[in-house]
């Protein structure tokens, strides 16, 4: 089979798992290669996605992943030498994408003609492509960039002191977007006493943070009612306490980083600050992408209504399929839609994409990757990962499934151990109810690690197989000091 012959030539990285459908993958991957090349001057054009419903295993070319990590390091070193900042350019590029769709919530989509909808759809596709450098570059910072950071710090420090200072350098010194949203909510509560003021505060907060929970255009933004309920339940004394805590926390973080930097040359200081900025970008990128999805979800709901195609069916269309629908009213056959909703393989090879939804190809590719990773021990009752915040906790497991994220997050009870592929901003409320958090993916600067340190939750990231080993209701002990999770 041709797809296997091509896949065997690639050194595949351990997969990421994400919730996605055909349309999201096609949007991301059609322009990823050109966007990465434009900034980092390298090829990043091999990826194979294997999907069961919306649970997608993203397999990336490890050699290209490594090359991107090297390119990120080289650009960061060049910036440190010349006083430039390519991270700022990445953010500006992403914000240009946001500007392409901003204000779509004020458009009456039902009044637009089909050509006008096609024009908006083209703008949406470009807006998403502008997010790709900020999506992929922060994924590789824990490779060459962090290794070089340790070398820089090791010229002045050693031992446990080195590890502590390294943690300071890679921890954002500004509130991440989801933390800023929480701080803003506390501040809004302090200014709002009457029911009318609380309602106005809820509306204002939703406008400012409409991106929260918008992982793609089929998600629903939070409602004014949900924020009003949250604001009404908040005690003024607790709001003051939390704002003071955050102010002190980030002041100390800035002071600690400034103290560390004094021992280094101006070029080394610029480098270390850029590393800290990259760590922050890993979280800020969610704000950019999710804002695009918020404004664009109005367009997709109109497309679904206009063409009488259920939204989840519409998201099985490729970019080419959707353009045909917009220009010639050509719909995908229902049989093909059903097949793509069940499973598919999306293969990007040297920049050329191919979609397969037949059972034979999907089964063949699944066997290939299963055999490739037979060394993983999925039946062990003990697994290891990287501790993000130390501590020992016991509780029953609650698995967060990619195809039922909202429902599973809502079901997390106080004292349970939250186990997931990875975490996102919308996971935070559930994480705070959990006694501990364990993820398959992640490293020192992933979302779960930052939230763990922020709220002092024992957390282990990067286990690779936690969601395969454990099931709902298992009793486990999480030793985040040693990085071990075991059944009890």
- How many residues does the structure list for the chain? 488
Q: How much is the pLDDT for 374?
A: 60
Q: Which two tokens stand for residue 481?
A: 């000091």
Q: How much is the pLDDT for 16?
A: 85
Q: Which two tokens stand for residue 243?
A: 């704002």
Residues near 226 by beta carbon (within 8 Å), at least 6 away in sequence:
none
3-state per-residue secondary structure call for 105-154: HHCCHHHCCHHHHHHHHHHHHHHHHCCHHHHHHHHHCCCHHHHHHHHHHH
* Helix or strand run (H / E) with residue 486: strand 484-487
- How many CB atoms neighbour CB 396 within 10 A? 15
Mean pLDDT, residues 466-475 taken together: 93
Query: Which residue in the block uniquely carries the two structure tokens 């946001």?
Result: 98
For residue 267, pLDDT beyond 50: yes
Complete DSSP assignment for 350-398: TTEEEEE--HHHHHHHHHHHHHHTTTS-SS-SEEE-EEEE--EEEEEEE
The proportion of the chain whose per-residue pLDDT surpasses 70, expressed as a percent, equals 98
Strand partners, 313: none
**pLDDT tens across 189-239, in order?**
999 999 999 999 999 999 999 999 999 999 999 999 999 999 999 999 999
Residue 54 near residue 155, CB atoms below 8 Å: no
Long-range contacts of 175-178 (CB under 8 A, 24+ apart): 175/246, 175/250, 176/280, 176/283, 176/284, 176/450, 177/211, 177/283, 177/284, 177/286, 177/287, 177/425, 178/212, 178/283, 178/286, 178/425, 178/428
Structure confidence at residue 109 as a pLDDT band (50, 70, 90): very high
Q: How much is the pLDDT for 453?
A: 87
* Burial of 120 (C-beta count, 10 Å sphere; 0-12/13-18/19+): buried
Q: How much is the pLDDT for 461?
A: 95
Residue 447 near residue 424, CB atoms below 8 Å: yes
Strand partners, 384: 484
Q: Write down the H helix ranges in 307-358.
A: 311-314, 319-328, 334-342
Q: How much is the pLDDT for 169?
A: 96
Domain locations along the chain: 2-143+282-372, 382-487
Q: CA 269 to CA 3: how far, in whole Å? A: 47
**What's the whole-model pTM score?**
0.89
**Class of the CATH-defined domain 382-487:** alpha beta
Structure confidence at residue 444 as a pLDDT band (50, 70, 90): confident
Mean pLDDT value across the chain: 94
Query: Which residue in the block uniquely carries the two structure tokens 């990590």?
Result: 69
The proportion of the chain whose per-residue pLDDT surpasses 90, expressed as a percent, equals 87
Residue 417 near residue 437, CB atoms below 8 Å: yes
Q: How much is the pLDDT for 377?
A: 46
Q: CA 370 to CA 27: how far, in whole Å? A: 27
Report which of residues 18 and 332 the model is more confident about: 332
Mean pLDDT, residues 460-487 taken together: 94
Q: How much is the pLDDT for 207?
A: 94
Q: CA 381 to CA 390: how far, in whole Å? A: 21
* Burial of 237 (C-beta count, 10 Å sphere; 0-12/13-18/19+): exposed
Torsion of CA 10, 11, 17, 23, to 10 degrees: -20
Residue 227 near residue 206, CB atoms below 8 Å: yes
Least confident of 7-16, 140-149, 244-253, 261-270: 7-16
**pLDDT tens across 373-410, in order?**
765 545 467 899 999 999 999 999 999 998 889 899 99
**pLDDT tens across 22-77, in order?**
999 999 998 999 999 999 999 999 999 999 998 999 999 999 999 999 999 999 99
């Amino acid at each position: 089979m041709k797809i296997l012959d091509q896949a065997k030539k690639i050194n595949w990285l351990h997969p990421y798992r994400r919730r996605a459908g055909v349309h999201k993958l096609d949007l991301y991957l059609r322009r990823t290669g050109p966007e990465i090349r434009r900034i980092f001057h390298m090829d990043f054009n091999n990826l194979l996605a294997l999907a069961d419903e919306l649970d997608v295993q993203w397999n990336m070319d490890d050699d290209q992943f490594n090359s991107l990590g090297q390119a990120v390091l080289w650009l960061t070193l060049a910036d440190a030498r010349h006083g430039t900042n390519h991270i700022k350019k990445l953010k500006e590029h992403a914000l240009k994408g946001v500007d392409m769709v901003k204000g779509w919530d004020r458009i009456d989509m039902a009044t637009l003609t089909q050509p006008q909808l096609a024009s908006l759809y083209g703008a949406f596709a470009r807006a998403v492509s502008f997010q790709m450098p900020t999506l992929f570059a922060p994924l590789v910072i824990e490779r060459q960039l962090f290794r070089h950071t340790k070398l820089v710090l090791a010229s002045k420090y050693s031992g446990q002191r080195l590890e502590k200072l390294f943690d300071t350098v890679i921890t954002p010194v500004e509130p991440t977007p989801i933390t800023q949203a929480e701080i803003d909510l506390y501040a809004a509560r302090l200014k709002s006493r009457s029911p009318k003021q609380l309602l106005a505060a809820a509306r204002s907060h939703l406008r400012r943070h409409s991106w929260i929970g918008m992982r793609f255009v089929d998600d629903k933004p939070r409602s004014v009612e949900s924020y009003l309920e949250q604001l009404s339940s908040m005690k003024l004394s607790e709001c003051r306490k939390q704002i003071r805590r955050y102010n002190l926390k980030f002041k100390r973080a800035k002071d600690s980083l400034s103290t560390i930097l004094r021992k280094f040359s101006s070029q080394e200081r610029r480098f270390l600050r850029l590393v800290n900025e990259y760590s922050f970008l890993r979280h800020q990128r969610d704000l950019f992408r999710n804002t695009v999805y918020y404004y664009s979800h109005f367009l997709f709901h109109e497309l679904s209504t206009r063409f009488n195609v259920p939204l989840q069916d519409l998201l099985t269309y490729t970019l080419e399929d959707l353009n045909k629908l917009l220009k010639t009213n050509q719909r995908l056959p229902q049989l093909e839609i059903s097949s793509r909703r069940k499973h598919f393989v999306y293969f990007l090879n040297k920049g050329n994409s191919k979609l397969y939804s037949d059972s034979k190809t999907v089964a063949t590719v699944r066997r290939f990757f299963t055999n490739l990773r037979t060394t993983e021990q999925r039946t062990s009752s003990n697994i290891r990962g990287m501790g993000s915040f130390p501590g020992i906790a016991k509780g029953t497991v609650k698995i967060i499934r990619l195809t039922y994220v909202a429902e599973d997050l809502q079901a997390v009870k106080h004292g349970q151990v939250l186990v997931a592929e990875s975490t996102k901003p919308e996971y935070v409320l559930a994480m705070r109810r959990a006694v501990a958090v364990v993820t398959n993916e992640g490293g020192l600067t992933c979302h779960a690690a930052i939230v763990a340190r922020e709220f002092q939750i024992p957390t282990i990231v990067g286990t690779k197989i936690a969601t395969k080993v454990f099931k709902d209701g298992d009793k486990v002990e999480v030793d985040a000091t040693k990085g071990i999770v075991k059944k009890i």
